[in-house]
């Protein structure tokens, strides 16, 4: 099971991804062994508040792993870990932002390729959360355009790998792809 959950800022995508994870365990009669890989970094007080809010809303028995840059390495490590049965990664667009701030196009490409490989090889249920940023006008500025291009390409590639792709708008999930 590989899900890609897309949505705008404050669309409810993280909450929906967490709901999917809980439903996976309840429908299979399993104990929740969930690890959330967080990619956000504290850059200002507002971001610190967002991170704290997300942490407070998650069940305390869920494990959290921080991976602002080396996402593939973290996902690979969780593959071998018996304490994790399902992985949520929140959020891919923050991870891409972190990579773009490194200002090394070769490093960016290596990390993206490694991550795509890790996703394709992941045998544990996986829920990927990302912002859909490309539904408006073309942005001004080279870095912003590069960001939007990278996000769009990554989403297209992951959508091919994932069994299910959802778009969350106003807290409501819309199925874009569903393979069973």
What's the rounded Cα separation, in Å, for the pair 140 and 174?
29
54 an active-site residue?
A: yes
CATH number of 2-178: 3.40.50.300
Helix axes 92-101, 142-161, angle to 10 degrees: 140
Kindly state the average pLDDT of the residues 96-123. 95
pLDDT at 32 over 90: no
Nearest to 155 by CA among 112, 125, 122: 112
pLDDT at 30 over 70: no
Number of H helices, E strands in the chain: 6, 7
* Annotated catalytic residue within 2, 54, 155, 164: 54
What is the 3-state secondary structure of the chain?
Answer: CEEEEEECCCCCHHHHHHHHHHHHHHHHCCCCCEEEEECCCCCCHHHHHHHHHHHHHCCCCCEEEECCCCHHHHHHHHHCCCCCCEEEEECHHHHHHHHHHCCCHHHHHHHHHHHHHHHHHCCCCEEEEEECCCCCCCCCCHHHHHHHHHHHHHHHHHHHHCCEEEEEECCEEEEEEECC
pLDDT of residue 180: 63
pLDDT at 29 over 70: no
Q: Which helix (H) or strand (E) holds 15?
A: helix 13-28
- The pTM score is 0.92
pLDDT of residue 51: 80
Kindly state the average pLDDT of the residues 11-33. 86
Kindly state the average pLDDT of the residues 69-88. 92
Higher pLDDT, 54 or 91: 91
Higher pLDDT, 30 or 11: 11
Higher pLDDT, 11 or 44: 11
What's the rounded Cα separation, in Å, for the pair 142 and 125?
36
Strand 86-90 and strand 63-66: pairing? unpaired
pLDDT at 68 over 70: yes
What is the pLDDT of the chain when averaged over all its residues? 91
Kindly state the average pLDDT of the residues 143-156. 93
């Amino acid at each position: 099971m590989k899900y890609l959950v897309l949505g705008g800022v404050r669309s409810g995508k993280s909450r929906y991804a967490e709901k999917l994870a809980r439903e996976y365990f309840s429908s299979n009669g399993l104990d929740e062994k969930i690890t959330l890989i967080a990619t956000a970094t504290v850059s200002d007080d507002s971001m610190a508040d967002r991170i704290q809010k997300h942490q407070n809303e998650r069940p305390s028995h869920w494990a959290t792993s921080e991976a602002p840059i080396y996402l593939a390495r973290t996902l690979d490590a969780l593959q071998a870990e018996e304490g994790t049965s399902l992985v949520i990664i929140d959020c891919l667009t923050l991870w891409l932002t972190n990579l773009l701030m490194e200002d090394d196009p070769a490093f960016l490409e290596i990390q993206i390729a490694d991550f795509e490989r890790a996703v394709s090889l992941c045998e544990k249920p996986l829920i990927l959360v990302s912002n859909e940023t490309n539904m408006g006008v073309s942005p001004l500025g080279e870095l912003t355009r590069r960001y939007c291009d990278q996000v769009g390409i990554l989403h297209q590639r992951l959508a091919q790998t994932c069994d299910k792709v959802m778009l969350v708008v106003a807290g409501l999930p819309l199925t874009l792809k569903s393979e069973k």
